[in-house]
Chains A and B, each alone.
Chain A
Amino acid sequence: MARDRQNSDEFVRPIRRLLIGGLALALIGLFLLWRIDSPRVERLRAALVDRVVPSFDWAMAPFTRLADMVDAAQSYASLYEQNQELRRELQQMRAWREAALQLEQKNARLLDLNNVRLDPQLTYVTGVVMADVGSPFRQSVLLNVGSRDGIRDGWATMDGLGLVGRISGVGEATSRVILLTDSNSRIPVTIQPSGQRALLAGDNSAAPPVEFLENPDLVRPGDRVVSSGDGGMFPADLLVGQVAQGADGRLRVRLAADYERLDFLRVLRSRPVPRIEDPGGLVAPPAPFDRPVPVPVPEPEVAAEPAEAGDG
């Protein structure tokens, strides 16, 4: 018995060491591959999430529902106060709604008078948040719409009110949304009354700071922050939130979207804006030295030239 044990130890130990070494090498290889060729490994990641998370879905639904019910039960305690408050708010909202309707009509009339062309209406796909796939240092959620619904990387995502984040990583039936609070999120924004351009840089806190602000004196807490559409990735004028001054004196943005309860999210289909790349051709008949080969039939050319000259 004792010899058996020694023998097996002698055999097992080197094999074991080999196994550990092999595993470590494979992991290092995976990390290096990710660092060198990130998109390929990210696709693998999207495929894995696509496979794993939907299979959890049936089990997650009751838990999520239960947590919602507990939340709801807690709010029953203060039902009366809430009801009163809601009534007051509703009264105020009615007044605002009236004002908004009037302004909308006025706006439409003025636009019509000026013959302004605005961006075509954005269309959107709505998805349900399936899972919270962030770690303590990464903020992201998973939606149940993916490439089969036509979702692409980089599209903007909103809840009912404000911007939530940007699609990053699309699987067949799932897609990942990097939230604005993630430390990798950088969104070009405009701060509304003053029109200052800035960058909203997530830093893992609930209120991301505003960076690269040209003139901070023109910005007050309470100003509206909307996306600016710079860089062509996001549509312009999506509501992001309000400026607030943090305890450290930095200007931060209190986000309009309700991050505590992300449920249904809209993914905005943004079509690539046609870019103007070349400086534009010269509006003139082509110069003769442009053609290396002499044109064999000169007659139509001669006929066309006076006509164009007549136009100009």
Chain B
Amino acid sequence: MIHLDNLSKRFGKRLAVDALSLEIPTGSLYALLGHNGAGKSTTIGMMLGQVLPDSGRVVIGGHDVRLERKEALDQVGAIFETPSFYDYLSGRRNLEIFCSYSRAVTLAEMEEAIAMVGLQKRIDDPVRMYSHGMRQRLALAQALLPRPKVLILDEPSEGLDPEGIHEMRELIQSLHARFDLTVLVCSHLLAEVEIICPQVAILRGGRLLFHGEWRGAEPGCASLEEFYLKTVRAGREDE
């Protein structure tokens, strides 16, 4: 579904992403892991056409993001680490604004997305009155409009309380199951990723250290945290 082909990006002297090639299969729950500055956000930025790669390409659903931007991004919904909204407008108005740059969304589709994230009662309130968890849910609602095939979630549980983290996890899993979405999660919360994603890609210094099913890939690793740390340490020794 998402195909990254030899993707590189440099900011000044710093190589943020180094010849990254990765295939994220259709319908998978996939996580992009790495320390701060590993190149995760830059990679996501390139997937969404916000960061222009120096070389390589991103193909989503058979469409090159740079050459066929509309066709490629028409299949994608995304949320960012700190979702930003027009705080002085209502949640509904925000959804209308973001959706106006996609194909037309029917009222029924919008109501369905609002219901899916459980914001029916507060959707007409100004966003400045929303809690962090409600903002995350609103972000998810805008990502679901119009119905995407791929969900890219950058730190979806960032700043949420334990209950909020649990709700977000259930929401992601149910959306994946209900609509057969391809979900790419970018997160530092390894315990969460362990529950949600059977497949991971681990980046370090812009290079891909590992990709695929993490369970069973390394003998003796019972948790994703152990596997991650072992992989990253091995990557450091190779440098």
- A and B bind: no
Could you tell me which A residues sit within 8 Å of B by CB distance? none
